[in-house]
Amino acid sequence: MRYKLIVNQPFQSVSHVLGGTFLFLKAMDPGLKRLEESWLFIPNGIAIRDRFNNNDIPIGIEIPPKDVDPDDGGFFQVDSHWYKPDDSLSRSELDDFLQVVNDHYGADLFAVKITRIGYGFYKVVPDCYD
């Protein structure tokens, strides 16, 4: 598989990278179905299970539906609960989360990788388009 760079986003904050990642996730997998087996519901939020490092990464804070801004693509929904990305993640937790995303989507849809200026969002280009 080859990847085509779609966006090369300078690192501004964890919340910017999470927001961009969720925009791509929702565009490629609107129901976030590929992540279903990795979600872990925690008090007041949601985490994702990192099986490689054997830890849970808290990535979302639950919010009431009335507080969801439909114009803000950073919000995401899992099992009828709404979450906003948890911007208190450290850079290493963010990188671990992105690796989980790449494990689920990198083979055929998209990947997020560290670049010289921040994070690059890549779309998978099938080999048949050479």
Q: Give me the tens of pLDDT residue by residue for the chain, a chain 130 residues long.
A: 677 778 788 888 888 888 888 888 888 888 888 888 889 999 999 999 998 889 999 999 999 989 888 777 678 888 888 998 888 899 899 999 999 998 988 878 888 888 888 888 888 877 655 4
Q: Are 51 and 35 in contact (CB under 8 A)?
A: no
Amino acid 123: pLDDT: 83
| Owner of token pair 């872990």 | 40
Q: Which residues pair with 21 in a beta bridge?
A: none
Amino acid 31: pLDDT: 83
Amino acid 47: pLDDT: 94
**86-119 pLDDT per residue, tens:** 888 998 999 999 999 989 888 788 888 888 888 8
How far is Cα 71 from Cα 120, in angstroms, rounded to an integer? 23
Q: Please, what is the average pLDDT of the chain?
A: 85
Which tokens go with 33? 């179905």
Per DSSP, 117 falls in state S
